[in-house]
């Protein structure tokens, strides 16, 4: 994952997640999910899972979202993507997913997959807008209510910005 911080006019920045980010991630996690991950799960992802890549999204230096994926051979599997509720509806989730997809492409990934609740039409619409297509169901995937998960896949395209020399 790139170490430099990318910033745009809106004040959004993206950077790799660190252990120091876990308290802020927990706030986002509990705001976004009915089945939040634990601090220990994130600690393990950051320290022991060599396939894991996580990034923070900040607005004017404040954490407002994060995303994570596992990179295995040439496929990226989105583990989490979340934006704090006061910042939703600004297309920042789209920006976060795009940044995750770019990072996956830069790491040599060719395809990306994820699971999404079958009832989460907002997320499904975002994923379809970003090139993901439904590819099946995982029955009873979510343990809180046994809801099915839709499996979605997208092709990733090589990041041409690395070839551009200014």
pTM: 0.87
Residues 70, 44 contacting (CB under 8 angstroms):
no
Residues that are catalytic: 115, 127
pLDDT tens per residue across span 112-124: 999 999 999 999 9
pLDDT single digits (tens) 61-77:
999 999 999 999 999 99
- Averaged over 73-102, what is the pLDDT? 94
Residue matched to tokens 């994926």: 69
pLDDT, average across residues 132-158: 93
DSSP-derived pairing of the beta strands 111-117 and 75-83: parallel
Which residues make Cβ contacts (< 8 Å) with residue 36, sequence separation at least 6? 26, 29, 30
- Please give the class, per CATH, of domain 1-110: alpha beta
Q: Is 33 left (phi over 0), alpha (psi -120 to 50) or beta?
A: beta
Give domain limits for the chain: 1-110
């Amino acid at each position: 994952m790139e170490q430099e911080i990318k910033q745009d006019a809106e004040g959004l920045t993206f950077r790799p997640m660190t252990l120091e980010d876990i308290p802020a991630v927990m706030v986002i996690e509990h705001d976004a999910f009915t089945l939040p991950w634990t601090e220990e799960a994130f600690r393990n992802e950051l320290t022991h899972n060599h396939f894991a890549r996580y990034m923070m999204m900040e607005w004017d230096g404040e954490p407002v979202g994060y995303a994570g994926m596992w990179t295995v051979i040439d496929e990226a599997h989105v583990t989490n993507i979340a934006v704090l509720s006061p910042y939703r509806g600004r297309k920042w989730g789209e920006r976060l997913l795009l940044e995750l997809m770019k990072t996956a492409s830069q790491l040599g990934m060719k395809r990306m997959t994820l699971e999404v609740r079958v009832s989460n039409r907002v997320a499904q619409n975002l994923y379809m807008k970003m090139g993901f297509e439904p590819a099946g169901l995982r029955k009873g995937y979510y343990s809180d209510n046994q809801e099915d998960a839709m499996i979605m896949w997208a092709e990733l395209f090589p990041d041409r910005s690395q070839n551009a020399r200014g």
